[in-house]
Structure 1
Amino acid sequence: MHKSFLVWAALLGALAVVLGAFGAHKLKELVPPETVSTFQTGVTYQFYHVFALLAVGILYAHIPAPQLVWAGRFFLFGILLFSGSLYVLTLLKATETVGLRGIGAITPIGGLLFIAGWVSLLLGILKK
């Protein structure tokens, strides 16, 4: 299981670099500054949790606790829901799409998954 978390961390890390570069160079031509800030928040939290996934993958090789598996899952789905929803909100703003603004309600769920991931990581470490 730990190898899949490491693979996801590598893929999502590369994606975060691409999205960060896009946000820093091109996005400000397409959306207002507050929307660039929203996008950057998604990139930042994606990066933080890529490192968390790396930690889970490495730790699981030494402490194969089920709590670590859950931590990795929570971090993955947290990235998808938290950062992903911020990226979608930015896309909606850039394309002036209406009707899907409620997608922002997903962001806090992703945040809760991040918290659950950190708590699971702690429990997995303490179990040993």
Structure 2
Amino acid sequence: MSRFFLVAGALVMAAGVAAGAYGAHAAKNAAHPEAVRLLQIAVLYHLVHGLAVVAVGLAARDIASRFLAAAGTLFLAGIVLFCGSLWALAMSGSLPLPTAPVGGLCFIAGWLAFAVGAFRSR
């Protein structure tokens, strides 16, 4: 589990940096009038939660916990749902499904699961 979340977190961070660089240029031609702000928020949450995935990987070296596994999974889901929906909204101007709130709930649940996993560790 530790290796998976360390690798996943590193890849998420690399993608976050690339997304930020791309977004700085793509926002100029984006469909949504608030595209710059939406992409800044998406990249911020992407990078913060990429670090959270790395933290899960590091914690999993010492703590074997299903709560940590759940936290890492929820962080990854939140990145896809929350950040992905902001990207889609910024670039297309509309969203077929409002997935940002679900992604936000994944982030919150991930942090709570992380806390429980850390608290219950020996």
TM-score normalised over the length of structure 2 = 0.92
Which consecutive segments of 4 or more residues in structure 1 shift more than 3 A? none
Q: CA deviation at 1:33?
A: 5.5
| CA distance in 1: counterparts of 2:33 and 2:19, whole angstroms | 16
1:113 maps to a residue whose letter is C
CA displacement, residues 48-67 of structure 1 (integer Å, 9 cap, x when unaligned): 00110011000011011110
Match of residue 109, structure 1, among 76, 87, 102: 102
| CA distance in 2: counterparts of 1:28 and 1:127, whole angstroms | 44
Give the secondary-structure state (helix, strand or coil) at the position aligned to 1:88: helix
The within-5 A match list for 1:1-128 is 1-24=1-24, 26-31=25-30, 34-93=34-93, 101-103=95-97, 105-128=98-121
Q: CA deviation at 1:36?
A: 1.2
For structure 2, the residue ranges without an aligned partner over 5 or more in a row are none
Paired positions, count:
120
CA displacement, residues 82-124 of structure 1 (integer Å, 9 cap, x when unaligned): 001111112213xxxxxx5343x11010000000000000000
1:29 maps to a residue whose letter is K
Give the secondary-structure state (helix, strand or coil) at the position aligned to 1:61: coil
CA RMSD in angstroms comes to 1.4
1:78 maps to a residue whose letter is G
| CA distance in 2: counterparts of 1:28 and 1:59, whole angstroms | 36
- Asked whether the 8 Å contact 2:85–2:95 carries over to 1, the reply is no
| CA distance in 2: counterparts of 1:77 and 1:59, whole angstroms | 19
Correspondence for 1:96: none
TM-score normalised over the length of structure 1 = 0.88
The share of aligned pairs that are identical, in percent, is 39
For structure 1, the residue ranges without an aligned partner over 5 or more in a row are 94-99
Give the secondary-structure state (helix, strand or coil) at the position aligned to 2:55: helix
Q: CA deviation at 1:27?
A: 2.1
